[in-house]
Amino acid sequence: MSRNTVADIVVDGLRRAGTPRLFCAANEASTRLCEAARASGMPVTLASGDAAACVMASVSGDLVDAPGAALVGLPESTTAAFAVVARAQIDRAPMIVLTERHASVVPACKASLGVTVETAAHWIAHASRLAMTEPRGPVHLDVPADVAGRAAIPLATSCRPDPLPYPDPWALDAAASTLSRASRPLLLAGLHCRRAAAQWLRALVEALPAPLLTTARAKGSLPDPHPLMLGVLADSGVDERLLRRADLVVAIGVDTHEPVPAACWSTAPVLGLGPPLALEDRALVAQVVGDVGAIMEELAPRLRDGRRADWDVAELDRLRREGLARAAGAGLSARVVRVAREATPAGAIATVEAGSRYACVATSWQAISPGEFLTTSRSASAGFALPAAVAAHLIHPDRRVVCFTDAAVLATTAGELATATRLDASIVVVVLGDAASGGPDPVALAQSSGVTSYRAEDERQFAEALGRTLRAGGPVLIAVAP
């Protein structure tokens, strides 16, 4: 009879929770947890450092709807790794941060748990459930090296969370009544509208009918080409003409951490559907708490005989086109993003930093389904796009992934160029802006990692380079600067 170690039990718990793979830095590759993962058939992916491993784990967990897992070699890289864990907490990304020598509390985690021989099966199951329980987020699990190899007894413990309580019927009736009285409701969709809830979101938008704005993390919940999809919310604000005409704002699946312009909460009564909303300067007219998909499914029959919204379709179309043009701009970056989207096949995935070029990419990249546009809700952060692109490739190896970044940020994540090369990942890294504006030459960085690279001074040169890229395999970098 084979002997189960603590490491085996932890890995088995991850597998039963649906974790697709384990990420870690190269210097952690020979640990007992990694050995147990490989022995079980769970892939182990080596990143250039702990921070990149955490980004990959959070993105992979988000994409597969299960906890991602990263083995972090704390305390050597505490600052960088903790910053990524904090970002995962804000993004509501489910992940388990594994350590082997860090018994202290990890900031921003929902809990920090210490494994012993007796508690291994219980704590990995609890960590998996906790990471996936709303609000989702990172959980820290410390498995000391001197404990990981000891024999332990596995237990049949559930690793999946309990379902959310069903929405209250009285609250549903109140929400339906509020919606039915509104002449021009404006819908705001947040990150909880992804996955199964997306089909109900589209049905609600078209049944009312009413215009929709999404947060960055919800982009794709309603296809961008849809005539009632008016764009992505950003810190820059919302068209005042749209807000003035709305007599009700409906927040559907909007998380409290997502950036929503303050004007959205102050110009009309607010109806909340999904996670609890706490608005400091304005009370909610009604709120239904629970699973977003279940709420919209229950609202459908209650709204069947309600009056249709009285939006001017021609005016909405004009506001939509003007808003998209204003957010994207007419510069080279916007034209390059549009060329990239038109040239890549259906299902292509874009990743982007939440920085100065975010609005341009978010507006110009057309997403048809959730998960085709990956970014973070934390605007003051960097180092996300390239590790996220690697994770997206591993989850969807049949899809093309396009990573939008700049020279300064690329310099901090350049190690993942080598990771992409080692994985032969079909990633196109598009560096927007001149290297002189910050950071080393991106082409030189790419070449030092064995990545094919091109320079482009306009969209024609970019299109030519992209065409060569799409016919080839492996990662390619294209530096775009006039």
Tokens standing for residue 392: 């997206």
- pLDDT per position as a tens digit, 463-481: 999 999 998 889 999 999 8
Domain boundary pick from 113, 148, 183: 148
Residue 398 is assigned to a structural domain of this protein = yes
Instruction: Give CA–CA dist 377/391, Å, rounded.
Output: 18
Cis, bond preceding 440 (omega within 30 deg of 0): no
Which of 296, 323, 350 marks a domain boundary? 323
Q: Are residues 405 and 308 in the same domain?
A: no
Residue 352 and residue 314 in one domain:
no
User: 313-344 pLDDT, tens per residue?
Assistant: 898 989 888 877 777 677 899 999 999 999 99
Q: Are residues 293 and 337 in the same domain?
A: no
User: Between the CA of residue 144 and those of 74, 101, 103, 124, 417, what are the distances in Å?
Assistant: 12, 5, 8, 14, 32
pLDDT for 163 beyond 90: no
**Same structural domain, 281 and 365:** no
Asked whether residue 34 is domain-assigned, the answer is: yes
CATH number of the CATH domain containing 67: 3.40.50.970
The pLDDT of residue 236 is: 55
Give the 3-state DSSP-derived string for the chain, with helices as H, strands as E and coil as C: CCCCEHHHHHHHHHHHHCCCCEEEEHHHCCCHHHHHHHHHCCCEEEECCHHHHHHHHHHHHHHHCCCEEEECCCCCCHHHHHHHHHHHHHHCCCEEEEECCCCCCCCCCCCEEECCCCCHHHHHHHHHHHHHCCCCCEEEEECCHHHHCCECCCCCCCCCCCCCCCCCHHHHHHHHHHHHHCCCEEEEECHHHCCCHHHHHHHHHHHCCCCEEECHHHCCCCCCCCCCEEEECCCCCCCHHHHHHCCEEEEECCCCCCCCCHHHHCCCCEEEEECCCCCCCCCCCEEEECCHHHHHHHHHHHCCCCCCCCCCHHHHHHHHHHHHHHHHCCCHHHHHHHHHHHHCCCCCEEEECCCCCHHHHHHHCCCCCCCCEECCCCCCCCCCHHHHHHHHHHHCCCCCEEEEECHHHHHHHCHHHHHHHHHCCCEEEEEECCHHHCCCCHHHHHHHCCCEEEEECCHHHHHHHHHHHHHCCCCEEEEECC
Please report whether residue 159 resides in a domain. no
pLDDT of residue 1: 37
Q: Say if 1 falls within a structural domain.
A: no
The per-residue pLDDT for 471 is 86
Q: Phi then psi for 352, rounded to 5 degrees?
A: -150, 150
Mean pLDDT of 92-100: 95
466, part of any domain: yes
For 177-226, write each residue's pLDDT tens digit.
Answer: 999 999 999 999 999 998 878 899 999 999 999 999 999 999 999 999 99
Whether 17 is in a domain gets the answer: yes
* Distance, CA of 22 to CA of 210 (rounded, Å): 43
- Picking from 258, 291, 323, the residue at the C-terminal end of a domain is 323
Choice between 265 and 60, residue whose per-residue pLDDT is larger: 60
* CATH number of the structural domain spanning residue 273: 3.40.50.1220
How many C-beta atoms lie closer than 10 Å to residue 338's C-beta?
16
The answer on 289 and 182 residing in a single domain is: yes
Number of domains in the chain: 3
> According to the model, what pLDDT value does residue 63 have?
96
Which residue pairs, CB below 8 angstroms and at least 24 apart, start in 171-177?
171/286, 171/287, 171/288, 171/289, 172/288, 172/295, 172/298, 172/299, 172/302, 173/302, 174/286, 174/288, 175/271, 175/273, 175/286, 175/287, 175/288, 175/295, 175/299, 176/299, 176/302, 176/303, 176/306
Rounded CA separation 159/131 (Å): 10
Q: Which pLDDT belongs to residue 7? A: 96
Does residue 199 sit in the same domain as residue 121?
no
Query: Helix crossing, 385-395 with 415-423: angle to 10°?
Result: 10
Do 319 and 173 share a structural domain? Answer: yes
If asked whether residues 351 and 298 sit together in one domain, one would say no
Could you tell me the residue range of the domain that residue 344 belongs to?
Answer: 329-480
pLDDT value, residue 11 = 96
Query: Are 11 and 131 in a shared domain?
Result: yes
Residue 370 maps to a domain: yes
Q: Which of 403, 471, 439 is nearest to 55 (CA)?
A: 403
Confidence check: pLDDT of 437 > 80: no
In this prediction, residues 411-431 reach a mean pLDDT of 95
Domain co-membership, 272 together with 354: no
Same domain, 50 and 173: no
Residues 240 and 287 in one domain: yes
474 CB neighbour count, 10 Å cutoff:
15
* Sign of the alpha-carbon torsion through 405, 410, 416, 422: positive
Residue 3: the pLDDT is: 72
Residue type, 159: C
This prediction has a pTM of 0.94
Residue 153, domain member (yes or no): no
How far apart, in whole angstroms, are the C-alpha atoms of residue 244 and residue 74?
A: 51
Window from 105-109, 181-185, 298-302 with minimum mean pLDDT: 105-109
